[in-house]
Amino acid sequence: MTTATALFHDLTGAAPHGVWSSPGRVNLIGEHTDYNDGFVFPFAIDHRTSVALGLRDDARIRVVSTFDPVPVEVALADLDTLFPARRDEIVEWARYPLGVAWALLRDADVDAVSGVDLAFASDVPVGAGLSSSAAIEGATASALNDVWQLGRDRVALAQAGRLAENDAVGAPTGIMDQMASMLGRADAAIFLDCRSLEADVVDLGFAAAELELVVIDTGVKHAHSTGGYGERRAACERGAEIMGVAALRDLAPADLARAEELMDDVTFRRVRHVVTEDQRVLDTVETLRREGPRAIGHLLDASHASMRDDFEISVPELDLAVDTARAAGAVGARMTGGGFGGAAIALVDQARVAEVGVAVERAFAAAGFAAPHIFTVRPSEGARRDA
């Protein structure tokens, strides 16, 4: 794979000033709870996006990537007119790094920072629900924060990434992905309160328990900036309004009986998923601390059923991946990410990883689905400077 440094050299003929990277993430549990001010439990993975950065002698920013070799260049002063009003003039992938630059400069003096060239390379699968977008945002934010000497902490950089994704890209996501990418630690997950942004690093203990986290990328692509994701968010906001609360985070499972009386069936099921998923996050963290990772399988299974039946964001490929992994001996399994495609995850004994992979591949072939991409990920550290 072409590295960010090699791509930078191809672009400029020079060596970069530095190289930064940021990981994708797997959400162990807590789906569509983040923008409802709820709880999530993601971890950074050992697949990363790298950016090589060089300083320019003008006030322009130029971005290029291995997945789109055509550079995109704009004046730093023009970012404020591009986003969000004219974002459609920018090719979608470039909105992520340019959007981060725009978000960071909203509270900075644009005349005091130098122009930059940014070259990106990544091994985070795109469209698999592993947040390749947050990896781009985290790498960009870390690099620009350093070279522009902005002095932002990691939470502020995550907030800049979220602002870029919401307003520059147009994807109505929460802040979970960016926080996981910025705060990740080896063999640990981030228990995040999405209202207060209070984050607690919780040991997962996968290695000691001889467990691996298997990702089953179905190859079915999704896009958060279109369609179903926005409709689900609107339903959640409608449910909160009906119940007279600021966000669904403020409801407990005991409130669901009243909610069912007040709402149409679809809105109620959307609300029920979020309320019960919040509780599953809390239960997962408590169970991990008390009993270890082998005891959380039923919570992963229940999360998938809720996303499949109540939130209706699964697809046949994801359901087959989850069901087959469980039947082949996984401790637990669920789809991960925003849904409508992407990946499933399965918590599997190290000795059974190959067996589960073969079972899923055979099941996909028998169903006439395209072959899935199956690999393991390990909880890893967050954004960093590499060179």
Q: What is the average pLDDT across 72-87?
A: 97
Please tell me the distance from the alpha carbon of residue 142 to that of residue 174, in angstroms, as a whole number.
19
If asked whether residues 192 and 220 sit together in one domain, one would say no
If asked whether residues 69 and 184 sit together in one domain, one would say yes
pLDDT at 384 > cutoff 60: yes
Active site residue 255: no
DSSP 8-state class, residue 20: E
Flag whether 382 is in a domain: no
- One-letter identity of residue 187: D
Q: Is 330 in contact with 356 (CB distance < 8 Å)?
A: yes
Residue 225: what pLDDT? Answer: 46
Q: What is the pLDDT of residues 310-347, one digit of tens each?
A: 999 999 999 999 999 999 999 999 999 888 998 999 99
CATH number at residue 247: 3.30.70.890
If asked whether residues 57 and 32 sit together in one domain, one would say yes
Flag whether 49 is in a domain: yes
If asked whether residues 97 and 194 sit together in one domain, one would say yes
| Portion of the chain with pLDDT greater than 90, in percent | 90
If asked whether residues 23 and 90 sit together in one domain, one would say yes
Closest CA to 165 of 181, 148, 189, 150: 181
Closest CA to 18 of 155, 119, 97: 119
CATH number at residue 195: 3.30.230.10
If asked whether residues 142 and 245 sit together in one domain, one would say no
Flag whether 340 is in a domain: yes
Domain range for residue 243? Answer: 205-377
Render 288-304 in DSSP notation, one character per residue.
Answer: HHHH-GGG-HHHHHHHH
Element holding 193 (H helix, E strand): strand 188-193
**How many CA atoms are closer than 13 Å to the CA of 126, on its beta-carbon side?**
10
Q: What is the average pLDDT across 144-150?
A: 98
If asked whether residues 194 and 217 sit together in one domain, one would say no
Flag whether 41 is in a domain: yes
If asked whether residues 125 and 141 sit together in one domain, one would say yes
The 3-state secondary structure of 62-115 reads EEEECCEEEEEEEEHHHHHHHCCCCHHHCCHHHHHHHHHHHHHHCCCCHHHCCC
If asked whether residues 263 and 324 sit together in one domain, one would say yes
DSSP 8-state class, residue 341: S
Q: What is the pLDDT of residues 197-222, one digit of tens each?
A: 999 999 999 999 999 999 999 999 86
b/e sequence 296-311, b meaning 16+ C-beta within 10 Å = bbebbbbbbebbbebb
Residue 338: what pLDDT? Answer: 85
Flag whether 129 is in a domain: yes
Q: What is the average pLDDT across 15-34?
A: 96
Domain boundary among 167, 202, 237: 202
If asked whether residues 8 and 150 sit together in one domain, one would say yes
pLDDT at 86 > cutoff 70: yes
Q: What is the average pLDDT across 140-147?
A: 98
Flag whether 366 is in a domain: yes
If asked whether residues 303 and 276 sit together in one domain, one would say yes
Domain boundary among 185, 202, 219: 202
pLDDT class of 102 with cuts at 50, 70, 90: very high
Out of 177, 278, 301, 310, the active site residue is 177
Flag whether 87 is in a domain: yes
Count: domains in the chain: 2
Stronger pLDDT, 225 or 83, i.e. the higher one: 83
Flag whether 383 is in a domain: no
Domain boundary among 170, 202, 234: 202
If asked whether residues 249 and 362 sit together in one domain, one would say yes
